[in-house]
Structure 1
């Protein structure tokens, strides 16, 4: 684990996690120790104090009712009863002991309760007792001190006091050791992410974050980041392919345009000059169309296109698109069959949607073959709408269906047809902008393109 710099040590996640871990560990340990002390020492001590206070009150009542002799008899009886050894001291107003089995007592009156040493010697052996004592002032000014042995509870208190020191030291050592181990574990995982990110930034797009195979949160994060890196690699590779394709696609028209302009400059024949000028203008128009299509796709994919999303009468839009392309179909002796459900509506940008459908119809007519049939259908599918355009051409082989939406990709058998190779790329971008799905399949005798739209779209 790489150590954070001094300047950023408090900004380090691992350091902060370690400190939080230490604080939580010590707090939980203190809470458990406090609960144990409360139930093992403090509460039993309070319980015994309450018992002794009740006894002192009863003895005070005996003195008031029966006099001093009755009190002395009660003290003698009390000394022989109870589950804990009983102690007492009856002191006259001048401080002399009238009767006592306590070896000593405080000069000042006991305010609430107090532990007094009540050790007793028996056959040369001293027995330790701790008398939990309370005091009552009798009517004649005498002091009555009574208590019960709580040596077992006092021993527990001493054990807890001694254990507290060791517990604090042990807990601190464990907390610090655990925090260091946790910090190193977290730090290693973070370092693996950081090092992979640095290698990716250095240009190694094939780098991936190593997985531990534990299925923990870091593994899930690593899997997510690896998928993101995969998408980035694919995107960069797509950009590289587009760059190569743009260079390849533009080389030929630019070369032809340069040759036409060069010939135009050197020829003096007016008819040839006119032909070359028209040819150069056509090449320039083709270049302009390629750049316009690329810019439009880029704007749509990046979300910079200002989409005018609104409720669109899809049935009417599709009918208008069919009518627009009908002359091209008739020129190829093709028929366009429509099966468009009435009343279809869709939240969409009508201009983008019309362009997508128009591109598909243009492809279907172009590749459908003379005398073929183009079928246009649209119907409600659940909460969404499905549009299908099928032709009677050669179709799109399965091996090329994932590639035909790439910029400038042309199926080898159709490379001779006029076009820029950007039509399906533009359609795919428009459909994605509407959160829809483009599917490529087979019809009865050709290609079938399906546009599937759900019931909610991101028009922002």
Structure 2
């Protein structure tokens, strides 16, 4: 692993979270072992200590009441009774051992309680015993030490101590190693995203983040980012095409305007000057129309053109739009058929929706052919308003139906019709602003444009 990657691993959030998990795991493990130790070792020791204290008190009471011989007999009896092996030692004030089965004991009095080794040998074999003892001083100064075997509890204590230590060490090592490995794996996936992003920033818009095919969260994130990069590439390509188209569309009227003005300077007759002036004004108006349309699209796409969403009487709006375009249609020998459901209402910007329908009717009239039919239908179902405008013209080939929504794009062979090539781009922007859907299809014959809101 390289030095920068090592530094990144140690600084990574994944490693820090892994170490926090390790700390929590070790804390919970220690708590669990502590609870088990309390139940399996400490509480039994407390219980046995209490029992031995009671026995020591009873034996001291026998000594006071019945004498030393009675105490010795009681000690002998005690050795053969009880659930655990009994231990004792009775030492006279002068240090003489009166009775004992403990192999050894402290020279000083036992404070509280103590654990003493009390191993025994029988038949050449050693038997391990651990005596929990308490000491009772008798009235004459003799020492009475009594206890019970707690070897099983001591074994559990040793097992808990060694086992917990090893478990914590192994668990910590595995958890830390796992955290480092996980951080390294996550870091590699992040590095792929970072490298791809830097290449995209450097201008390579075709770059995509490699997928591992595991379907995990990183693959889903990478797939989403790839889709985003695809949209960005499409947007940049669209901007490039728009820039090329703008340059192309403006070059011709500007050249004509320049030529007309140049000729106007040397024109001799009033009629010629008037003709050149009118041509120059027409070209300037065409330029103005292009700039106005581009500005309108930009304002619509940014949402600044949205005057206010209000309930719109769509039935009346469509009737007004049909009435507005009826003279142009009749001038081309066309007829407009309207089948609009009554009482249609939708939440929208009325002016933008009217402009949308007006642009579609204008296109249908221009490209619908002489003597053709324009059909306008509108209905509502399941909360969706559907508007369809169709003509009986030559139609649009399937490969151009999406491209006609781009600025300045014109279907090959339709360049003779007047216009800026921005009408459907404006429609698409308005529909997107209203969260609608625009579909261009085949009317058999002709073109059908369906808007759904």
Class of the TM-score when normalised by the shorter of the 2 chains:
0.7 to 0.9
The answer to whether the 8 Å contact 2:52/2:148 transfers is: no
Separation in 1, partners of 2:400, 2:128: 97
The answer to whether the 8 Å contact 2:9/2:184 transfers is: no
| Matching residue of 2:287 | 287
Residue 212 of structure 2 is aligned to residue 212 of structure 1:
yes
| C-alpha distance 73-273 of structure 1, shift in aligned 2 (>3 A) | farther
The answer to whether the 8 Å contact 1:37/1:160 transfers is: no
The answer to whether the 8 Å contact 1:135/1:146 transfers is: yes
Report Cα offsets for 1:167-209 as digits up to 9, x if no partner.
4544444344333322221111111111111111111111111
| Matching residue of 2:429 | 429
Structure 1 position 12, deviation (Å): 7.1
Structure 1 position 98, deviation (Å): 5.9
Range 124-133 or range 283-292, more displaced:
124-133
Separation in 1, partners of 2:399, 2:13: 54
Q: 2:50 aligns with which of 42, 53, 56?
A: 53
Residue 161 of structure 2 is aligned to residue 161 of structure 1:
yes
Partner of 1:404: helix, strand, or coil? helix
Partner of 1:418: helix, strand, or coil? coil
Report Cα offsets for 1:381-438 as digits up to 9, x if no partner.
2112111111121222222111111111111132211111111111011000000000
Separation in 2, partners of 1:304, 1:142: 105
The answer to whether the 8 Å contact 1:59/1:74 transfers is: no
Report Cα offsets for 1:216-271 as digits up to 9, x if no partner.
11111111111111111111111111111111111111111111111111112111
Separation in 2, partners of 1:244, 1:38: 77
Partner of 2:174: helix, strand, or coil? helix
Partner of 2:439: helix, strand, or coil? strand
Separation in 2, partners of 1:279, 1:437: 40
Partner of 1:424: helix, strand, or coil? helix
The answer to whether the 8 Å contact 1:26/1:171 transfers is: no
| C-alpha distance 51-168 of structure 1, shift in aligned 2 (>3 A) | closer
The answer to whether the 8 Å contact 1:59/1:71 transfers is: no
Partner of 2:406: helix, strand, or coil? coil
Partner of 1:203: helix, strand, or coil? coil
Partner of 1:441: helix, strand, or coil? strand
Separation in 1, partners of 2:62, 2:121: 35
The answer to whether the 8 Å contact 1:41/1:153 transfers is: no
Separation in 2, partners of 1:411, 1:106: 113
Separation in 2, partners of 1:57, 1:75: 14
Partner of 1:208: helix, strand, or coil? coil
Report Cα offsets for 1:105-147 as digits up to 9, x if no partner.
5744543x53233233446665432223356678999876543
Partner of 1:413: helix, strand, or coil? coil
Q: Which runs of 5+ in 1 are unaligned?
A: 454-460
| C-alpha distance 143-339 of structure 1, shift in aligned 2 (>3 A) | farther
Structure 1 position 285, deviation (Å): 0.9
Q: 2:21 aligns with which of 10, 21, 24?
A: 24
| Matching residue of 1:104 | 105
Residue 195 of structure 2 is aligned to residue 195 of structure 1:
yes
Structure 1 position 361, deviation (Å): 0.8
CA RMSD of aligned residues (A): 3.1
State the TM-score, normalized to the length of structure 2.
Answer: 0.88
| Matching residue of 2:239 | 239
State the TM-score, normalized to the length of structure 1.
Answer: 0.86
| C-alpha distance 227-390 of structure 1, shift in aligned 2 (>3 A) | same
| C-alpha distance 45-369 of structure 1, shift in aligned 2 (>3 A) | same
| Matching residue of 2:373 | 373
| Matching residue of 1:249 | 249
| C-alpha distance 70-340 of structure 1, shift in aligned 2 (>3 A) | farther
Range 190-199 or range 333-342, more displaced:
333-342
Partner of 2:192: helix, strand, or coil? helix
| Matching residue of 2:441 | 441
Range 97-106 or range 398-407, more displaced:
97-106
Q: How does 1:377-392 map to 2 (within 5 A)?
A: 377-392=377-392
Separation in 1, partners of 2:390, 2:197: 46
